[in-house]
Amino acid sequence: MNLVIVTGLSGAGKSQAANALEDMGYYCVDNIPPAIIPAFVDLSKRESEGFSKLAVVTDIRGGSMFSDIERVLVRLKTMGIEYKILFLDASDDVLIRRYKENRRKHPLCDAEGLSLSDAVKSEREKLARIRSMADFDIDTSLLSSAQLKTILTETFLKSAESGLRILCKSFGFKYGIDTDADNIFDVRCLPNPYYVDELKYRTGLEAEVSDYVMNSPDSEKFKKSVFEFADFSIPLYIKEGKSQLVFSFGCTGGKHRSVTFAELLCAYLKGKGYNASVIHRDIDKD
C-alpha cells in the first residue's frame, strides 16, 4: 500500500496538495485524527476493492488528538505499513496574508485565544517535531497552485518507482530565495541576456537566450563545476536514503540564466539515468 500523510501549517496548501494527489489516483481523506489512520488503512487493505494508494490529511485542527501522531507512526511501522510524510509550509507573512484574504479563522485563534500572528507562531512550534520527520518538505510561499501540482505529480508518480527524485529549479532572487533548495547556485555572475534588446523579454527556454548565456568561457566553467558537484554529491545523497533532492539556480529575475542552467542540469542528469525534472518558479513573473 502507498500511504501519504499530508500535514503542515494551516494555510500552506494542504487542501491543494490533497486535490493533486486525488488527481493522481489517491483516495484522500481530509482532517482525520491520527489515531484513526491505522484502522482506516487496515480497513482499506481488507476490503475486496481496497485502495492501493491512500492520502490522509492530519494537522493541528485535530486539537489534542494530533499529539498522538508520533505514536501512530510507530504503530504503522509495526503493522508493516510504509508511508511518506509530506509537509507543507509557507512563510509567516504569506500565511497571515492568505488568512486575511479568505477571511477564515486560524484553528488556534479560538482554541488558544491567540491573535493570528501568535497562532501561526504557536502552530509552527507544535509542528517542529513532525516536520523534522518529513520525507518531503515543500514551501509554497512563492508557488502557484499549478506549480505545486507539478512538483507533487513529479514526486509521487515517479519517486516510488525510481528512487531518488531530483528537481532542478530556477528562481529570481528579486522574488525571494528558494527555500526548498538543498543546493543553491547563484548564476548572477554570468552574462545577462536582459541587457540585449532582442533577448530581454525572452526566456532561457529559447535557444537564442541559452546560447547567449553559454557563449562565455566562464559559463562553461560554471557548468562543468555544477556537473562535477552533482556527480560527486548525488551518490552520497542516495547512500543516505534521501527521497528528494533540489538543485536551484538563481539569477536576478528568474527568466534567463537560471532557466538555462536548470534545463542544462536536468538534461545532463536524465542522460545519466536519474529521475530528474525541472520547474521554473518565476519565469512568468514581470
CB 196 within 8 A of CB 209: no
Amino acid identity, position 220: E
Q: Rounded distance, CA 222 to CA 230, Å? A: 12
Q: Judge whether 84 and 43 are in contact, CB under 8 Å.
A: no
pTM for this one?
0.70
Q: CA 182, CA 86: separation in Å to the nearest integer?
A: 16
What pLDDT does residue 29 have? 94
Rounded (5°) CA angle 206-259-150: 105
pLDDT tens digits along 59-117: 999 998 999 999 999 999 999 999 999 999 999 999 999 998 988 889 999 889 999 99
Residue with grid cell 519517486, as numbered in its chain = 159
Going edge to edge, which strands form the sheet with 244-251?
183-186, 244-251, 165-172, 275-280
Average pLDDT of 243-253?
94
Phi then psi for 72, rounded to 5 degrees?
-65, -40
Domain positions in the chain are 2-162, 165-280
* Tens of pLDDT, residues 195-216: 999 999 999 999 999 999 999 9
Grid coordinates of 199: 533577448
Please give the DSSP secondary-structure letter assigned to residue 263: H
- For residue 161, with 0-12 CB atoms within 10 Å meaning exposed, 13-18 middle and 19 or more buried, which class applies? exposed
Give residue-wise pLDDT tens across range 121-148.
999 999 999 999 999 999 999 998 888 9
pLDDT digits (tens, 9 = 90+) for 162-198: 568 899 999 999 999 999 899 999 999 999 999 999 9
Write down the CATH number for the domain with range 2-162: 3.40.50.300
| 119 or 163: which leads in pLDDT | 119
> 254, 203 in Cβ contact below 8 A?
no
Mean pLDDT over residues 231-242, rounded?
87
Hunting for cell 555572475 — which residue is that? 189
